[in-house]
Structure formats: C-alpha cells, structure tokens
Structure 1
Amino acid sequence: MRASLLQIDVKPDEPVETRRERVAGLVRAQDGADLVVLPELWPMGAFAFDAFASHAEPADGPTARAMGAAARDAGVWLHAGSIVERATDGTLYNTSLLFSPDGELNRTYRKIHRFGFDKGEATLMGAGREIVTAPVVDTVIGLATCYDLRFPEQFRLLVDAGAQLLVVPAGWPARRRAHWSLLARARAVESQAYVLACGTAGTHAGVEQAGHSVVVDPWGEVVAEAGAGEETLTVELDPAKVAKTRAEFPVLRDRVLGLPTP
C-alpha cells in the first residue's frame, strides 16, 4: 500500500482559492498512490482564528468539490485534511473529509478535542462526538485530528472499532515539535497500528508550524519523516504487519480496563 503525505506550506499571502487549486494539483500528481493525506485546516491555517467564520463552508462546499475531483482524477483515496465546516444550524466544526477513488465523499469526522484552553478553536467551534473508521484498500483507517493526538482513550476506541492505520492531520506548532514526534510514536506503540501524521509547514497567523510529518509503524519505528518545509512524503506500507505485530506481541489481548465484551 502506497501512501503520500502532502505537507502543505500555508503561505499567508496566498489566497485560499489559489491554494485550493495548487493543492488539487499536488493531489493529482499522486496518481500512483493508494492513499493521500493532507494536513489540518490547510485552506486558511489552523491558527487563523479570525478567518474561520469567513472561510467556513458546508461539507459539500468548494473545498470538497475540488478535492473530490482531484481524488477522482488521481484514482486515490484522499484524506483531504480538514476544513472549517458550517453546519446547517450555523455551528462551526473542524471537519475532516475522506474521499474514495471515484471522488465521492466517503466519511466525515468532526474533531472531538478542540484546542485553545477557553479561547481560539475551543470557543469558536463545536465538538465532534463520533469515533470514525473506514475500510480503505486492505486496511481500516481511524480518523483523528491534531490535538486529539494527546488523548489516548480516543485511539483505544478507534482500535476497538477495528482501526489498523491511524490518520492524524494537524497544524502543530514548532515550539512543541518534540511532543508531536513523541505522541505519534506512542499512539502507534500502544495501538499496534500504523500512524500517518501529516502537518503543515511555514508560519501562519504568526505561529511557526512544526512540519515534520511522520509515518510510524506498529512497533513504533519511524518509517519516514519530513523536514520543516513543504514536502511530499511517500511510503510503502504493509497492512499485514499490523496483524503480525498484534499476534507476535499480543499486548492488546491483555487489556483489563476497557476491554471490549467478547
């Protein structure tokens, strides 16, 4: 299984419409991949709080239409990162979009854990409530977003729901890059699953981004890691490695608290 993580530079002087077209072109260039992943809130930037309301759109809005067309043209599964979704009741959500190779919107995931400590995203957006997985190629992916990475209980629920590959788009700040790398590896080790963590590059809304998108295997080994700038990270994954790891080192079987009912 070939996966490509597109670490996008959210340039402050690049209009959203221009970036949308540019990113669609980058997706189309990944026509040999099975799965393509984009970062969190790449249309306007994860820390551009003042722009959330003005750039909010429905889940079938202009970003979804552009990304669906790009997924169809490339023939790939596309996790299109996340957008600021405006729901029918007016509530804003940080919503991830997953497209199938025919360009159809297959799943949406509303970010459960909102970042900001009583400001920013935490006050401007509603919280998701659903654990979301999807069968993709020869595996099952589990969806999470950025700050979710700090909450292992969400990843336990994703594993219980069948996830074998965990996709985490993010807009992670550079000043906490060490946490980004550590938590990505921790979620992989404890879940015995692949983690594909795709971040943004550059500086937006005055916040320098960590970049360093990373792919971690079920043993916690780093398969590939990007640098700080805009970059495409392409890796070959073996979905069978998840079952093999869980069979050879059956730690999940020994869970006592929160063990699913047989």
Structure 2
Amino acid sequence: MRVAVVQVGYGDAEPVPERVERVAALVRAQAGHDLVVLPELWAPGGFAYREWQDRAEPVDGPVGQAMSAAARDAGVVLHAGSIIERPGGGEVGPDGHGLWNTSLVYGPDGGLLAAYRKVHRFGFGAGEPKLLDAGEDVVVVDLPLRDGGSVRAGLSTCYDLRFPELYRRQVDAGATLFVVPAAWPAARVRHWTLLAHARAVEDQCVVVACNTAGTHAGTEMGGHSQVVSAAGEALAMAGADEQVLSVDVDLDAVAAWREQFPVLRDRRL
C-alpha cells in the first residue's frame, strides 16, 4: 500500500476557500497512491474556535464536495481530515450543540466510504466540549487498494490518541491500520510522536498519523506527521513545516509480525 501523508500548513491570513482549492490541488498531485491523508480541521481551523459556527457545514457541503472531486480526479482513497459538521435537519447530540468534529473518507470514485465523529473532545470543559457534541460510534472501514485488495482501517482523531481503549475496540473489529488526523500543537508534540508509536506497538497495527503545520489562532502546530509499522518502526516522519510524506507500507508484515510475536493472544481483560 502506498500512502501519502499531506501535512498541511496554514495561518489565519489564508482565506478558507483559497485553502480548500490549494489542498484539493495537493490531493490531485498524489495520484498513484492508494491512500491520501489530510489533517484534522485543516479548513475551518483546528484552534479557531470562534470561527467554527460560521464555518460549519454538512457532510456534503463545500469542503466535502471539493474533497470528493479531488479523490475522484486522483483515483485515490482520501481521508479528508475533518470538518465542523452541522447536519441538515436540525440534528442535535446529547450535549445539545448540533455540531461535531467529523472525519470524512472518500473512495477512488469520489463516493463517501465513511464518516467518523470524534469521540474524545479536547478542552477540559472548554474548547471542543463547550462547542461540540461527542461522537458515539467506533468506526472501522474496509479501504480498497489499487491491486484489488483492501485494508481494514480504524478511524480516530487527534485527542483520541490518548485513549487506548478506543484502539482495542478497533482491533477487535479487525483493524490492521489506524488513520489519525490531528491538529496537535507544538507544545506537546513529544506526546504526539510517543502515543502514535504506543498505539502501533500495543495493538500491532500500522499507524498513519497526519498532523498540521503552521500557526493559527495564536497556536503553533506541531507537525511531525508519521507512519509507524505494526512492530513500532518509524517508516517516515515529517518535520515542522508543510510537507508530503510518500510511504510504501507492507501490509503483509502486519500478519507476519502478529504471528512472530503473538502478544494479542495473551490478552486476558
């Protein structure tokens, strides 16, 4: 499987429509990959809380339409990062906000393969918990590959990475790949790199972790997107600036490693 991790960098001065157009072009440039991954909330702004109400949109809104078209044009599976979702029909979650941090995954034909509403909201009572409803579903999806095969991927977002029980649920649902878009700040970037490796090692899954670069809403982003093998080897890692990683991942090595070092068989709880 050939993966492109697009570590988008942006600041407050870039208008959202221009950023969407620029990122769509970056996706189209990744033709020939099986999977392309974008960061969390790259369009509305990961820490741009004050803008989220105005920038919220349904799954089939402007960002979704642009990413669907880009996936189709490139002929790739696209994990389009996430949007601030405001569903049509006035849907409201248990916290009454009616907004979600929702990841979108498109197939090579541009069709929506999966949507995942972020379960763990960052902010300790402020930020996301104050503005967004929490997702309630564990999402695992079969992603088609160019050779006719597929890979079973678990979806999560940023702060989710701190909660290993979510990934155990995904492993139990058959995942061999975790895809994790993020808007993780530079102040805690060591946690980002460490936790991605931990999830790979403890669950014997490949981790594709795509972070944000740049500075917006007064927050410097951490970058350092990475692809980690099921054995915990860093296959590639970005720096702090906008960058595209192109990585060949041996999916057969996941089953081989699980057979060679069968730690998951020894689980008792």
Length-normalised TM-score, structure 2: 0.94
Partner of 1:208: 220
Residue identity in the other structure for 1:174: A
Query: 3-state DSSP class of the match of 2:84?
Result: strand
Partner of 2:137: 130
Following superposition, the deviation at residue 185 of structure 1 comes to 0.2
Query: Where in structure 2 are the equivalents of 1:172-183 lying within 5 Å?
Result: 172-183=184-195
Following superposition, the deviation at residue 10 of structure 1 comes to 2.0
Partner of 1:94: 101
Aligned residues: 257
Q: Does 1:31 align with 2:31?
A: yes
Select which of 102, 108, 119 maps to 1:112. Answer: 119
Give the stretch that moved more between structures: 53-62 or 87-96: 87-96
Asked if structure 2 preserves the Cα contact closer than 8 Å seen for 1:6 and 1:233, the reply is: yes
Superposed CA offset, 1:91-124 (max 9, x none) = 1000000000000011000000000001011110
Q: Distance in 2 between matches of 1:102 and 1:12?
A: 32
Q: Distance in 1 between matches of 2:190 and 2:113?
A: 33
Query: 3-state DSSP class of the match of 2:83?
Result: strand
Asked if structure 2 preserves the Cα contact closer than 8 Å seen for 1:40 and 1:82, the reply is: yes
Q: Distance in 2 between matches of 1:205 and 1:44?
A: 11
Q: Distance in 2 between matches of 1:135 and 1:120?
A: 32
Asked if structure 2 preserves the Cα contact closer than 8 Å seen for 1:146 and 1:171, the reply is: yes
Residue identity in the other structure for 1:120: G
Partner of 2:59: 59
Q: Distance in 1 between matches of 2:261 and 2:114?
A: 32
Measured on the aligned residues, the alpha-carbon RMSD in Å equals 0.7
Following superposition, the deviation at residue 89 of structure 1 comes to 2.1
Partner of 2:201: 189
Following superposition, the deviation at residue 45 of structure 1 comes to 1.5
Residue identity in the other structure for 1:57: E
Task: Point out where structure 2 has 5 or more consecutive residues left out of the alignment.
Answer: 93-97
Give the share of equivalent positions with the same residue, in percent.
58
Give the stretch that moved more between structures: 246-255 or 82-91: 82-91
Following superposition, the deviation at residue 172 of structure 1 comes to 0.1
Q: Does 1:225 align with 2:237?
A: yes
Following superposition, the deviation at residue 44 of structure 1 comes to 2.2
Query: Where in structure 2 are the equivalents of 1:140-179 lying within 5 Å?
Result: 140-179=152-191
Residue identity in the other structure for 2:104: L
Asked if structure 2 preserves the Cα contact closer than 8 Å seen for 1:10 and 1:44, the reply is: no
Length-normalised TM-score, structure 1: 0.97
